[in-house]
Structure 1
């Protein structure tokens, strides 16, 4: 649980629909889709549909990493390249005088016995690749996939509340362009295809936020994009890889925790950014959580599910949706408060509340 309001000062993104946060937000607002058939052939159909950033738009791997990259998986390398422009974009607003800590969401570890494509040195490699300085000693990695970005937000809010730092970076990056991963999801019948009524479209992306305290924002003479009012997390025992019944308790608990941190007199939620990726479980889970928290939402709330346009960006989803909400509120084309929620393949669930300045 995190209770202190913080400012979202800047957002950076690289996605299949945009090479910057503003471009991505504009494309999602316009309903532009960038998922298409690829040259990846799996059992279900010819040319698996994917949401990918065009190779020519990805920043090359840093020369220092190229020399030692033989031990890095293709997925690890691509995630570093996806992160470059998105992380650097934060510095266009303001460059911190001291390197802030980074709370970073990464993919969930693979099943036991399978090689982990994300190496332990990812944070150090990210610093080399992007040139963005961050406090490695206070930084943390969250290997919880989609919900990881919201767990990372929770950790950042706690760190800011402790007054150890004035600002913090929060990010998430992932790609499904991994033949081992795609093959496993295909066998599990989780991918959308001609022969399946439901399923996710694999995607990729990177999204980063610069957070600071309202007092620090004021001292800098800057205007934030939006406020982050709080976060809530929970665990779903009946997750995708569990034998337990799916009861929707993880997301319900996340919302209960979140709403307990904000005043009852706060206006009801007007817009929901939902972690729906095309798999039926997320619609069921939201339905249960909504019914148990509907007194905190407007009767005719608006729902957004960005994965519809860019595919499932995995561990980037939580941070990406918080960034989209902040930009939408700042531009005035969505009403707040905005509720953001998403769930991981396994038990982690998370939620956040974003409101206008």
Structure 2
């Protein structure tokens, strides 16, 4: 049995460059940066730099993350075409071993968001504590729920913050942060991103700005950052190859890439190795690489929904380099995810019901990635 691709029909964003999708995406399009001096200082006395959301009231711990996530989900639900009580929330969060991670995050986050929105928590809602990979597992589960008829629409989201003194000091000691005299590192950030994933037949065909997710492939990198093992970019190459195969396209049919590369040389080298191995044909122009972290700081678990929202916006407004994009993200533990997306042109686009099978390097049962 074959199904139309799950589609992205709306987004909700709370980032250092905007408190809504409209403002965030306009800022990314224009190249506006939200990087600033943070309220956290290095042992030398210098302020760390990164992306900070300007909240009218700033909480801490899980309440901070709920305050970021609630407006993003609310914005998404405003575009729903089915009752919002029937739309589960699947949310990526930081990995359980992250320094400074709230102990009650996966237990308390979604109930607090529901309380802030004054709605019951929809059945089937869950968190996936796997950094950037959490939203990939959430998207995989959302597509399965839609294909199996268990839901027509699902919110896939991510929320994260690196703005914790203990975490920043640890990252700095491991030479992971960008700063004075250091060109190999990333800028920390915080934010929330959500997309409304829908069955194709739940969206009117005359509705514009709909993004079709043609494939999703997951893999595992055997030499993740900091492992000290010989690094050849095998995990990302496997994930990208799997996504291209599922979408039945080749790399030369990809018009641009969107990634979570962050300023660390590791990520850029990994993206380069994957492209060199798979993009064998001559191009009239270079394959663009879009990476929002230079404007927002690293948003961790929120990166994949942010990329999906940006791809949808670029295609809808006509500033994308072409009709088809390759998205890829990864986590420090080695998980890699790659997707092929394009503007929806027909509700009859082929989509295999088992098209989200894991690719070359097994990452395990995705159902186990969700917190109980």
Q: TM-score range by the shorter chain?
A: 0.7 to 0.9
User: Counterparts of 2:32 and 2:227 in 1: how far apart (Å)?
Assistant: 35
Distance in 2 between residues matched to 1:296 and 1:124, nearest whole Å: 50
Inter-partner Cα distance in structure 2 for 1:295 and 1:140: 41
Q: Which stretch shows the higher mean deviation, 258-267 or 334-343?
A: 258-267
Shift of 1:340: 1.0
CA distance in 2, matches of 1:198, 1:113: 23
**What SS does the corresponding residue of 2:187 show, helix, strand or coil?**
coil
1:104–1:172 CA contact under 8 A, matched in 2: yes
How many residues end up aligned between the 2 structures? 340
Within-5 A mapping of 1:23-38: 23-38=23-38
Match of 1:65 in 2: none
Deviation at residue 349 of structure 1 after TM alignment: 0.9
Task: Specify the alignment match of 2:173 in structure 1.
Answer: 187
Q: Alpha carbons of 1:134 and 1:271: their partners in 2 closer, same or farther (altered >3 Å)?
A: farther
* Counterpart contact for 1:217–1:224, Cα < 8 Å: no
* 37-46 or 259-268, which deviates more: 259-268
Alpha-carbon offset, residue 243 of structure 1: 4.0
Distance 1:80 1:210, change over 3 A: same
Q: Matched residues in 2 for 1:39 and 1:15: separation?
A: 17
Q: CA deviation at 1:114?
A: 8.5
- Taking the aligned partners of 1:354 and 1:106, their CA distance within structure 2 comes to 23
Q: Does 1:293 align with 2:278?
A: yes
Whether the 8 Å contact between 1:4 and 1:230 is mirrored in structure 2 is no
Partner of 1:239: 224
2:102 corresponds to 1:106: no
Q: Does 1:51 align with 2:51?
A: yes
Q: Which moves more between the two structures, 150-159 or 231-240?
A: 150-159
Q: Which moved more, 1:145-154 or 1:346-355?
A: 145-154
Q: Deviations over 1:115-165 (max 9, x none)?
A: 7473522222222223355533x2332111123222221221122112221
Structure 2 counterpart of 1:150, from 136, 145, 152: 136
Q: Counterparts of 2:161 and 2:71 in 1: how far apart (Å)? A: 15
Picking from 30, 43, 61, the partner of 1:75 is 61
**179-188 vs 38-47, which moves further:** 38-47
Q: Alpha-carbon deviation of 1:33?
A: 0.6
Q: Within 5 Å, give how 1:250-261 maps onto structure 2.
A: 250-261=235-246
**Alpha-carbon distance between aligned partners in 1 of 2:44 and 2:237, rounded to the nearest angstrom:** 34
Whole-Å Cα distance in 1 between the matches of residues 177 and 287 of structure 2?
29
| TM-score normalised by length of structure 2 | 0.84
Q: CA deviation at 1:170?
A: 0.3
- 5 Å matches for 1:158-197? 158-197=144-183
Judge conservation of contact 2:208–2:316 (CA < 8 Å) in 1.
Answer: no
Pairwise CA RMSD: 2.6
Answer whether contact 1:203 1:312 (CA < 8 A) is retained: yes
Q: Which residue of 2 aligns with 1:6?
A: 6
Offset of residue 166 of structure 1? 1.1
User: Secondary structure of 2:287's partner?
Assistant: strand
**Higher mean Cα deviation, 229-238 or 261-270?**
261-270
Confirm whether residue 121 of structure 1 aligns to residue 126 of structure 2. Answer: no
Deviation at 1:19, TM superposition (A): 1.0
Deviation at 1:356, TM superposition (A): 1.1
CA distance, structure 2, for counterparts of residue 189 and residue 4 of structure 1: 45
Separation in structure 1 between the aligned mates of residue 163 and residue 175 of structure 2, nearest angstrom: 17
The 1-side partners of 2:282 and 2:156 are apart by 27
Distance across 1 between alignment mates of 2:103 and 2:79: 35
Unaligned runs of 5+ in 2: 345-372
2:326 aligned counterpart, secondary structure? strand
Q: Are residue 342 (structure 1) and residue 342 (structure 2) matched? A: no
8 Å contact kept, 1:9–1:224: yes
**Does 1:94 pair with 2:102?**
no
Native 8 Å contact 2:260 2:293 kept in 1? yes
